[in-house]
Copies of this chain bind each other. A is one copy, B any other.
Amino acid sequence: MNTTTTHSRDEAAFDPVLGVSLYREMVRIRMIEEEIAARYGEEKMRCPVHLSIGQEAVPAGISAALRKTDQVVSTHRCHAHYLAKGGDLKAMLAEMMGREAGCCAGRGGSMHLFDRDAGMLLSLPIVAASIPVGVGAAMAMKQRGEDNVAVIYLGDASVEEGVFHESANFAAVRKLPAIFVCENNLYSVYTPLRDRQPDRPISELGRAHGLHTVEVDGNDALGVYRAATELVAHARSGAGACFMLADTYRWREHCGPNFDNTLGYRTVAEFEDWKGRDPIESLILRLEGKGALDAAERQAMANEITAEITEAFAFAEAAPFPSIATAADNLYAL
């Protein structure tokens, strides 16, 4: 384990209403991701997919602390970030199917999800490339006197790219309203952290760059939310840029719909251990402990979400492909 948790599960501060909404957000993300996995073999989604199953707590907790006008940037693994920030599900699925109704009009595929109206500024498939873009969004908002913040999602591998450091240094020196959220799922594709970084918490990097830094349990949506609330307030007030380290775990293969524990790059024991810390299951236990959400309510929610997903897939599948006459359009803005 690469980090310590400073924001622990504080049952006293537990707010059941918030808990239920975080639960719903996480379940919705998981159900969408599982449906993508289930249908991937149909070859209608003809682009790589990087699923977030197991990692739902971070985006759920973060987005609950954000305004619509706050901006988010993401990576190749952007589905959950997009959905949690309020990105349009239909436009996401249409994008993955290469349709004109996709958020990128079919030009981008699954790694370019964005939704301007929702404050999801962009996702980029080059590791760490979206980090400075998020800092730039923070700078723009500061320059324009808007009191919004920018959240920059990054994986544990991103901090190996120099551009993370360049971005963090600038955000710190200019006290920009930027919040770096590092989802440490312990792997970069198949490579474990120990083969890529020295043995120290990743959060040390945030501190060394002068960022206001916290560690959280990345499988505890409420803990993420509480920490995020504090960081967002800090950044929004002009006090400076922040860094959150959230340990979590990806359940499926790096890219694609399957499980891949048989490959041997990680142990089944490790996988099972993390599955035991399922962010959704553990929240159910806590909600049930408060009598806040029973099985019937959960089922009703699931039915609602299923209907939404079914409709969105139907929409995307029926949506037309771009006309080939438009292939070269939008090379230059007029």
Contacts and interface: CB of A to CB of B under 8 A. Distances in A.
A210 interface: yes
A199 B208 contact: no
Contact of A166 (B160, B198, B208): B160
Nearest to A172: B198
Contact of A162 (B166, B172, B195, B207): B166
Contacts of A195: 173
A8 interface: no
Interface in A181-226: 195-200, 204-205, 207-210
A164 interface: yes
A196 B173 contact: yes
Nearest to A165: B165
Contact of A210 (B161, B162, B199): B199
Interface residues of A, number: 22
Contacts of A4: none
B210 A208 contact: no
A169 interface: yes
Contacts of A161: 162, 166
Contacts of A172: 197-198
Nearest to A206: B208
A70 B207 CA distance: 33
A163 interface: yes
Given A162-B162, A166-B160, A200 B196 contact: no
A199 B174 CA distance: 11
Contacts of A166: 160-162
A302 to B, nearest CB: 43
A19 to B, nearest CB: 35
B209 A207 contact: no
A182 to B, nearest CB: 13
- Which 8 pairs across A and B sit closest by C-beta, in order of nearness? A162-B162, A198-B210, A208-B208, A172-B198, A204-B208, A165-B165, A162-B166, A205-B208
Interface of A: 160-166, 169, 172-173, 195-200, 204-205, 207-210
